[in-house]
Amino acid sequence: MTKGIRNWQAVQQEVLRRINAREWPPGALIPNEADLATEFGCARATVNRALRAVAEAGLLDRKRRAGTRVALQPVARATLSIAVIRQEVEDKGARYDYRLLERKLARPPAAVSRALKTGAAALLHVRALHFADDVPYALEDRWINPAGAAGALDQPFDTTSANEWLLEHAPYTGGDIALSAHSATAAEAQDLGCAERAALFALTRNTWNGDTAVTRVRLLFAHGYAMQADL
């Protein structure tokens, strides 16, 4: 019996220990929250918070009225950070440079409006190139929602990238990321200095602040780019 656990992080660690030690094997029904709270000597709400965290990590299956079981097939979840490209380049020991290609207020393609749920509203379109040691590193194609990024319309983005400005000035609460392979078009190949139809790493990201869209960006990275995530 474990007594005297007072915070949810400590409960979480004990739950993880029991799962990893197979004291609670895959598929096992674990004790209910009330029994665990009594065993640990803490509030039931503390146990609930800990179990939610373990479930969010993919190690527990929680079903109303059916109890909580250890997942039969745990789901590993990767954590990706929104990087400042300048910092990413400099961390590789390279010299960073940036070039604005286009900046205009325009009505975006229907796919962008649908993704951001902005209807017929005009958004700020910014295209730019990021360089590492004078070699193209990433092509940025971004739509910014002025309603979700106050002050964006006043920014020329000629010396500071939209990537960097938004991370510093536009709060966000969530979003989604899609990773894919992409064959370079003739225009993209010219910008990135690669062959037409060359295989590129593409990242498309939407970010939101509550129910308000902030931005949608598509980044095409030059050949040889690799992304790392923490599990």
The pLDDT of residue 65:
80
The pLDDT of residue 75:
65
Other CB atoms within 10 Å distance of the CB of residue 108 = 20
Identify whether the C-beta of residue 123 lies closer than 8 Å to the C-beta of residue 105: yes
Pairwise CA distance, residues 214 & 209, whole Å:
6
Max CA-CA distance within the chain?
Answer: 67
Digit-coded pLDDT (tens) for 77-93: 666 667 799 999 999 99
Pairwise CA distance, residues 106 & 104, whole Å:
6
**HEC secondary structure over the chain:** CCCCCCCHHHHHHHHHHHHHCCCCCCCCECCCHHHHHHHHCCCHHHHHHHHHHHHHCCCEEEECCCEEEECCCCCCCCECCCCCHHHHHHHCCCCEEEEEEEEEEECCCHHHHHHHCCCCCCEEEEEEEEEECCEEEEEEEEEECCCCCCCHHHCCCCCCCHHHHHHHHCCCCEEEEEEEEEECCHHHHHHHCCCCCCEEEEEEEEEEECCEEEEEEEEEECCCCCCCCEC
Q: Whose structure tokens read 């895959």? A: 26
The pLDDT of residue 50:
94
Digit-coded pLDDT (tens) for 53-79: 999 888 999 988 889 999 987 766 666
Digit-coded pLDDT (tens) for 32-44: 999 999 999 999 9
Digit-coded pLDDT (tens) for 104-128: 999 999 999 999 999 999 999 999 9
Tell me the average pLDDT across 204-225. 94
30: tokens are 């674990």
The pLDDT of residue 4:
63
Q: Whose structure tokens read 């869209």? A: 213
